[in-house]
Amino acid sequence: MAGLFIFAALCCALAPPALGKGDAKRGAYLAKAGGCAGCHTEGKKGAVPYAGGRELKTPFGTFYGPNITPHAEAGVGRWSETDFMRALRSGLRPDGAHYFPAFPYTSFTGITDADARDLWAFIRSIPPDSRASRPHQLSFPFNLRYLVRFWKWLYFSPGPFAAAARTATLSRGAYLVGALGHCGECHTPRDFVGGLKRDRLLAGAAKGADGKSVPNLTPAKLTKWDDNELKEFLVVGITPDGDVAAETMGEVIRNTTSQLTPEDLSALIAYLRSLPALADKPR
């Protein structure tokens, strides 16, 4: 009998931890902070939120954001929470195939378990929509999904976000920028196969994914604005000179940065201020 108790105890110790129940309300905030609607909602008036169809043109072809509503056929209604975690953590579909890195799992891998559970609870609360996800239109050989395995060996380091030796405010800002908000996916230049140039993190790019220039977010450029001016820009989209944010950044401001709590917005700015100043490279 004692042996049975010991065996049961060992089984419990080796079993994976039970998944907790997420908070959909908090997940709704995290979805805004993560800019989820920007990729998973078609860019036209009256589009159904999170039903997919958003177009992203890149040098490799055109990607379309998929339907992530809980529709059983068209969306993620048949996914488990484990499937969702694996997509974020490892960039893998439920069937084990690799996601193309247009899905920014290179950043999302750092999302905490608690935040991932809350995001999943929010996604499960979205009204389901039957719109089928549109297939990507990619040129050869970038349309060969199995090649992503080799791309990951070079550019993907899975694992949770690790707070460096910094204040709680800077750690929160680093998490918002580097993991949840995935700012580096657009504001860091890439090489010819789409890998981020880590030595130029957040230093801007002459050509972003859509072919347009993306600004430098390091102190080399941000020193011309004080914190209040930067907060004003990230909330209302107007620069100190009276200019209005460009179309893409304007959408990010409407859907994401303007929706952050004052504490998160301050943390984000504090982290950007703490980065090494990287000058723009000649274009």
CB atoms within 10 A of CB 20: 12
Report the alpha-carbon distance of residue 46 to residue 40 in Å, rounded: 14
Who's near 206: CB < 8 A, 6+ residues apart? 189, 213, 281, 283
Confidence of residue 5 (pLDDT cuts 50, 70, 90): very low
What pLDDT score was predicted for residue 126? Answer: 96
pLDDT tens track for 76-89: 999 999 999 999 99
Note the pTM of the prediction, 2 decimals.
0.88
- List the structure tokens of 145: 């999904």
Burial class (CB in 10 A: 0-12, 13-18, 19+), 269: buried
Report the alpha-carbon distance of residue 160 to residue 47 in Å, rounded: 33
Which strands form 137-138's sheet, in the order they lie side by side? 55-58, 61-64, 137-138
CB atoms within 10 A of CB 62: 14
When mean pLDDT is compared across 9-18, 129-138, 246-255, the lowest value belongs to 9-18
CATH classification number, 161-283, choose in 3.40.50, 1.10.3470, 1.10.260, 1.10.760: 1.10.760
Confidence of residue 100 (pLDDT cuts 50, 70, 90): very high
What pLDDT score was predicted for residue 205? Answer: 84
Domain ranges (residues) in the chain: 20-158, 161-283
